[in-house]
Amino acid sequence: MFLISLIMMTLAILISKKTFMDREKSSPFECGFDPKSSARLPFSLQFYLIAVIFLIFDVEITLLMPLIINLKISNLLYFMMISFFFIFILIIGLFHEWNQGALKWAN
């Protein structure tokens, strides 16, 4: 029994030897960046803030889509009040970001 286990382990080690060509395949691919370089490259915080703001407004647009379906089953006045309130909150958020300076690309 021990001999069979030893033969199986030896075969597994010999079969699983990676060649030099396989090393590139097994290395991580990070969005086109060379993974061997430093991971601590400078990153624009302004670009990150604008990307987060875009993501927030993009999600809120998807929240506006069900309001179109709601138009058929609700009162027009109720629909307009809800829609204007939601858009008003978005505009207040946009002006707040503008006043905080998050939308200025260059300082």
Instruction: Give the separation between CA 57 and CA 52, rounded to whole angstroms.
Output: 9
pTM to 2 decimal places: 0.49
- Please give the residue range of the domain that contains residue 32: 2-100
Q: Which residues contact 103 (CB under 8 A, 6 or more apart)?
A: 50, 53, 97
Q: Which residue has the higher pLDDT, 104 or 96?
A: 96
Q: Is residue 106 one of the residues assigned to a domain?
A: no
pLDDT above 90 covers a percentage of the chain that reads 4
Amino acid identity of residue 71, one-letter, is L
Instruction: Give the separation between CA 77 and CA 82, rounded to whole angstroms.
Output: 9
Q: What is the token pair recorded at 59?
A: 């999600």
Sign, CA dihedral 18-23-25-30, equals positive
CA distances from 61 to 14, 47, 88 (A): 56, 21, 13
Give the chain's domain count. Answer: 1
Can you tell me the mean pLDDT for 42-61?
79
Q: Is residue 105 one of the residues assigned to a domain?
A: no
Q: Is residue 10 one of the residues assigned to a domain?
A: yes
pLDDT tier at 48, thresholds 50, 70, 90: confident
Residue 3 C-beta-side C-alpha neighbours within 13 Å: 0
Q: Is residue 93 one of the residues assigned to a domain?
A: yes
Q: Is residue 107 one of the residues assigned to a domain?
A: no
